[in-house]
Amino acid sequence: MAGAPAIVAAADSYDRDWAGLPEEIFLMFMRELEIPDLVRSGAVCTSWHAAYLAVRRHHFPLPIPRNQLPCLVYACRNSATDGAVVCCPFTGDSVRVPLPQPPLTRHSTVGSAHGWLVTADEASNLHLLNPITGAHVALPPIATLHHVESCTDTQGRLMYNVFDRGDPEPTPFDAREARDCMYHRVTLSYSPAAGSACIVLLVHMSIGELS
């Protein structure tokens, strides 16, 4: 029968263990997925789940495809304290992603670039966070800015004295006030996954200074 080899070949293709592909192949495929699909891929089977855990465990850089739709990241009451929700407003897809402690609800978002969030913690110190891989980088604390000094008030609460140009007396801020007022804008030259090639530019008080 002339068609027998083709039929046998087709049958063999259905019997192949596609879940048994090397993890490197899974990772190559995951890098081309839309963000919600990437998060869901861990639920396909045990092999896909292991590959997705490897993405988060080793913080693999995931290049964003040119057709990648932008997503919103937010904390909500329905998510656990250590997680957030990633939502694509164009498709309506939303998925929950785990995040390292402390929870996102205790951070203030200052900016975002290259798939990373720039957040300020309860002490007003800045952090870089990748909500998909869970990678986290702590930036130099706020007191390293040349015109900011950390101190405590009479009750032992963390405070910051901010010195303005031409004013000999500093302006005192508590940690929450500093977090809300100090940072105007932040941007990244590259993804932090690029290592030393990533430069963080911060526009801050007073009067739009750069650091």
pLDDT tens per residue, range 102-129? 666 678 888 888 878 888 988 889 998 8
**What's the start-to-end Cα distance of the chain, in Å?**
76
Q: What is the per-residue pLDDT for 125? A: 92
Q: For residues 138 and 164, give the distance between their C-alpha atoms in angstroms, rounded to a whole number.
A: 26
Residue 11 has pLDDT above 50, yes or no: no
CA 6 to chain centre: 48
Strand order, beta sheet including 94-98: 72-74, 83-87, 94-98
Closest CA to 30 of 20, 14, 41, 44: 41
Q: For residues 125 and 137, give the distance between their C-alpha atoms in angstroms, rounded to a whole number.
A: 11
Which pLDDT band holds residue 8 (cuts at 50, 70, 90)?
A: very low
Q: What is the per-residue pLDDT for 7? A: 46
The residue ranking higher by pLDDT, 108 or 32, is: 108
CB–CB of 162/177 below 8 Å?
no
Q: Give the pLDDT mean for 181-203.
A: 83
Q: Give the pLDDT mean for 192-206.
A: 80
The pTM (predicted TM-score) of the whole model is: 0.72
